[in-house]
Amino acid sequence: MTATVTSSLSPKTILIAEHAGFCHGVRKAVDKTLATGRSSDGKPVYVIGQLIHNQQVIEQLASESIITVQSLDEVPAGSICVVRTHGAPPEMVENAKAAGLEVSDATCPDVRLVQNKAIQLAEEGYTVVIVGKASHPEVIGIKAHSERVPGAQIIAINSPDEIGAALDGIPCRRVGVVSQTTQMEETFFEMVKALSKISKELKVFNTICPATYFRQTAALELAVKVDFMVVVGGKNSSNTTHLADICRYAGTASRHIETFRELEGDQELREAKIVGVTAGASTPDWLIEEVIEYLKAL
């Protein structure tokens, strides 16, 4: 059920998607990392890559002396090294421990499940297809974990159009499929359908996380009811970008923003009578509240 926000200052009706903002995995990762920083006994705390794809949260962590870096080489000896919620290649964790660093693992449980399913498929002799962006840190980690299986064939493919080139010269008789947790369901099932035409044996694990499904479904249901959709979340967040895409596919005027300031001067928004708000799984409640307060004042 959507939540309705009204204000005596604005003639607009503001509807909030039933599922929006932090998912359980992101909340757990942020809380764990903040707790690690506050109980570190003076040890510096570093996160390898963005803990979550939200710049405002990264800045919040930095304000508590939890520093985001891009590689293990940037972490001084004697520090605590945090594994981001997207997971990391096992080699990185091993190298951190070998360097004498304390490791705090904030990998999302749903991401860990995908890693384990990919390993299982590789051990069973399937060519493993990860439906997702090869350059995304979650997919990089999934691929790295499953590639440790001797003889494993692991491919990341993001759309059906890429299948032919990606699988050229690779055994396709037995194919196992997993998904990046934030993948769009439509894309995932299109991939499964296309792969079923070239594989004699297809084993599929739908590893899109429930939070992603609920947010996508709620965004679509809301988008068809409103004049304008505001999608709040990091511009580099896959799950937030997918929400914005879903709203646009519904034919609704939509804006993907990180903060309310990006809405300033938007004439289409000002003319809208009913405005919907949703947010990605890496968007904290306080950012959503700031957007709602801005809309109430229009």
Active site residues: 138
Contact 194, 166 (CB under 8 A): no
Going by their DSSP bridges, the two strands 127-131 and 80-83 should be labelled as: unpaired
68 vs 181: CA distance, rounded Å: 23
DSSP state string for 166-228? HTTTS--SEEEEEE-TT--HHHHHHHHHHHHTT-SEEEE-----HHHHHHHHHHHHHHTT-SE
Strands (E), the chain: 3-7, 10-16, 45-48, 66-69, 80-83, 102-105, 127-131, 154-157, 174-179, 201-204, 228-232, 253-257, 274-279
Contact 21, 283 (CB under 8 A): yes
**Which CA distances in Å does 124 have to 73, 89, 109, 120, 171?**
36, 21, 23, 6, 14
Burial 130-151 (b: 16+ CB within 10 A, else e): bbbbeebbbbbbbbbbbbebee
97 SS3 class? helix
DSSP state string for 197-212? TT-SEEEE-----HHH
Tell which residue, 48, 111, 114, 53, has the closest CA to residue 83.
48
